[in-house]
Structure 1
Amino acid sequence: MRVKELSLLCIAFFLVSCCMGKPETAILPEAYVDAAQRSTHTNNWAVLVDASRFWFNYRHVANVLSIYRSVKRLGIPDSQIILMIADDMACNARNPRPGQVYNNANQHINVYGDDVEVDYRGYEVTVENFVRLLTGRTQNGTARSKKLLSDAGSNVLIYLTGHGGDGFLKFQDSEEITSQELADGIQQMWEKKRYNELFFMVDTCQAASLYEKFTSPNVLAVASSLVGEDSLSHHVDPSIGVYMIDRYTYYALEFLEKVQPFSKRTIGEFLQVCPKRVCISTVGVRKDLYQRDPHKVPITDFFGAIRPTRVSTERINVTLANEEDFCLDAEVDAAESVRKKDFKVIIESQFPIEFFK
């Protein structure tokens, strides 16, 4: 009996398979497949790191706070920005303007502001904490605000500034992170599906050496100087006796300050913000791991958090209830009431059926 039942089951399964076709040979409409492969970008994160201590490195704090100001202004919330600052210049005893950090001698922009949220401060800024942050291996008890909670739909901006050399970046003037460690950390991010696309930006001496060992897909990188070159500061403020900002970040900020949330400026334009005649060092770019043309990628894909939005002033029926259920009560003021004959029910499509027509 069991053999007979098994045979009948196999025959039934064969007939169903013939009617439905094999799953692996099923063909979706080409337009649908192309649209699905174009982008899986759903959210933005930023990891901004100043790895230097001491008052004479004031400019590195100004660097990272300048980028922080830009990404926050363009829509990335503090909950999705991880800010690491190795020294607190705003509260330094040498600062003649307590609680303030400027990136130019004219004091146009206080980049510290009133609402800066520093996630890792002082001696918390270590190579270990940075690598743990990237790879999602934070220690037990780490606050949620100190975690990079990105996913496979996240576009992640990583910005590093400090003192570096050929293949390394110094942290706290006492330890180093190497280009190999950076490459391994980003590879783990890719394997764990912690990013969709990643923009790596570094402003330090011999900065291009830090991205040489990258092999992970969907990574675009820019560096303020090539191997063997120094990355130079921009100008000094005589009132505090130190340099205010580095050249590359100065011109990057000058570009970003002109970008609005719905700007059409592209990453390709951003990669050209500091030619050698103004930067003095040669800006390095690595895009062989990146699939898209940077000149077709909106700058807000990394420096903002803009999503296509459909604004409707109509009532939307999302429960498929009767239209009468949505009519306003007769006692409501006539000026605010909606006449039933003018009422429109809009059902938002939950599946791209247009590709199957």
Structure 2
Amino acid sequence: MEQRMRFWVITLIVIVCMTITMTKSKGQDNGVKWAFLIAGSKGYVNYRHQADVCHAYQVLKSGGLKDENIIVMMNDDIAYNFQNPYPGYIPNRPDGPNVYYNVPRDYTGYEATLRNFYSILRGDKKAIRRGSGKVLDTKPEDTIFIFFSGHGNTGILELPDEKVIYADKLVDTLKMKTSYKKMVIYLESCHAGSMFQGLLPRDSKIYVTTASNPYENSFAFYCPHEKSPPSPAYTVCLGDLYSISWLEDSEQIDRKTETLDEQYLKVWSRTYYTYDDQFSHVMRYGNYVNMGNYILDTYQGAGQSPENDNYHFNATPTHEHSYKRFNTTTGLVSQQDALLHYLKLKLEKASSVDKSKAQTELDDEISRRKHEDQSVHLIWKFLFGEDIRSIMMANLRSDTQPLVDDW
């Protein structure tokens, strides 16, 4: 009797272990791993978005994804920008490696357009205007990883051509794309959750995490401190907290064993607990219930794969310049305040000749913001009166409803 009981206990343990292993392996196949990486901004002040995307390329490339299956869209105006203290060098963290190394420039400058964005997403080669011509030409067994880093607001994301991606059209396009097995989307922007809340079905083939919920900002990270002597070499934030969190996690862990949900929880924790008074809520959308246990390798590659065409990205901080670590604060800067942070540092570092111009730029930006705040307050007062708390607006919608009805 004891032997029979022992047999069944051991059998049960084996079955449980096999189930866990199979669950973590679910989603792996012999299909092609595709990736679409988008930096949605332009200008040196928005350095961090292109740095995030370049870093993402290095993570995916070292994981075994091939250049023919990685599509990069960015303005490409920071590596050799006159304000970059080390031309051609883009670190995504203090003392970090040059993540710009060998990054494909598929769609840059005037090619980084809304038209091309949707053409790439649909896999429509004929609709592409200029650029490399690469699109998500996926087959039914292929997987797709999409990463966007840039500016957003309620229901919109901005692209370098200053046109916007509307949430309803984005989700409709995703719904119409059927020739793939599974898709993962990581989205870095303010109000990022508003792109999917109440719009993306939970029974879709798509797993989404966002840097922020529909009502809040996300945060820039690795920012130089304006009060740290000596003045730092950089006047911009090098990355974004959500993006840095998943990128650094993917570099450090075994992507053959960590799941999407395990990475989500790590990123959620780092983004929420970095500072008590400054945080955003990393969110999940789509079919996260069924896809959360899929392993990262299925979408990001395994890391140091023999299939990476002998690609050796050096993750150590070495390059031709005598690059000195600059003082940084681990405090966060709201994406909406990153421009002010930059202009203050620019003023601090300005020579006597340039100081007047830098002061004017800062004053103009502060005046513009005051004018916008006053205008919004007047509209608010007219619609709701003085006593209505701003939280009322957030409470009008449940988390199963989109924030906008009429797009």
TM-score, normalised via structure 1 length: 0.69
Match of 2:297 in 1: 300
SS in structure 2 opposite 1:243? coil
- Alignment partner, residue 231 of structure 1: 218
**Aligned partners of 1:79, 1:281: CA distance in 2, in Å?**
35
Which residue in 2 is equivalent to 1:214?
200
* Aligned match of 1:98: 87
Q: Which has the higher contact order (CA 8 A, sep 6+)?
A: 2
| Alignment deviations for residues 170-196 of structure 1 (CA, whole Å, 9 cap, x no partner) | 112621111111101111212xx2x11
Post-superposition Cα deviations, 1:190-216, rounded to whole Å, max 9, x if no partner, equal 2xx2x1101011000011111221237
Question: Displacement of 1:273 after TM fit?
Answer: 2.2
Q: Does 1:162 align with 2:162?
A: no
**Residues 63 and 109 of structure 1: is their aligned pair in 2 closer, same or farther, counting only changes over 3 Å?**
same
Read off the aligned partner of 1:277 and give its amino acid letter: Y
Identity %: 28
The match for 1:273 is 266
2:135 equivalent in structure 1: 147
Whole-Å separation in 2 of the counterparts to 1:39 and 1:103? 31
Distance 1:210 1:86 in 2: 22
How many residues are paired up?
Answer: 265
Structure 1: which 5+ residue stretches go unaligned? 1-33, 310-357
From the superposition, tell whether residues 123 and 173 of structure 1 become closer, same or farther in structure 2 (CA, over 3 Å).
closer
Q: Distance in 1 between matches of 2:260 and 2:240?
A: 20
Deviation at 1:235? 2.2
Distance 2:259 2:210 in 1: 17
**Largest Rg, 1 or 2:** 1
Q: Residues 215-242 of structure 1, C-alpha deviation per residue, up to 9 Å, x if partnerless?
A: 3721100000001110011122431211
1:201 aligns to 2:186 (yes or no): yes
Paired residue for 2:170, among 182, 206, 211?
A: 182
Q: Which moved more, 1:244-253 or 1:168-177?
A: 168-177
Distance 1:148 1:230, change over 3 A: same
Question: Cα offset for 1:140?
Answer: 6.1
TM-score, normalised with respect to structure 2: 0.61
Q: Where does structure 1 differ by over 4 angstroms across 4 or more consecutive aligned residues?
A: 140-145
Q: More displaced, 209-218 or 140-149?
A: 140-149
CA RMSD of aligned residues (A): 2.5
What corresponds to 1:17 in structure 2?
none
Q: CA deviation at 1:120?
A: 0.5
Question: C-alpha separation between the residues in 1 aligned to 2:257 and 2:172?
Answer: 34
Conservation of the 8 A alpha-carbon contact between 1:136 and 1:147: yes
* C-alpha separation in 1, matches of 2:131 and 2:189: 30
Match for 2:105: what amino acid? V
Alignment partner, residue 57 of structure 1:
46
Contact 1:218 1:290 in 2 (8 A): no
The match for 2:61 is 72
Q: Offset at 1:145? A: 5.2
Give the CA deviation at 1:259.
3.0
Could you tell me how far 1:161 is from its partner in structure 2? 1.0
Cα pair 1:120 1:146 within 8 Å, conserved? no
- Aligned pairs for 1:221-260 within 5 A: 221-237=208-224, 238-260=232-254
Distance 1:223 1:91, change over 3 A: same
The whole-number CA distance in structure 2 between the counterparts of 1:40 and 1:228 is 35
Summarize the Cα distance change of 1:66–1:144 in structure 2 as closer, same or farther, 3 Å threshold.
closer
Instruction: List per-residue Cα deviations over 1:233-270 (Å, max 9, x = no partner).
Output: 11224312111100111111120111346x31111111
41-50 or 274-283, which moves further after superposition? 274-283
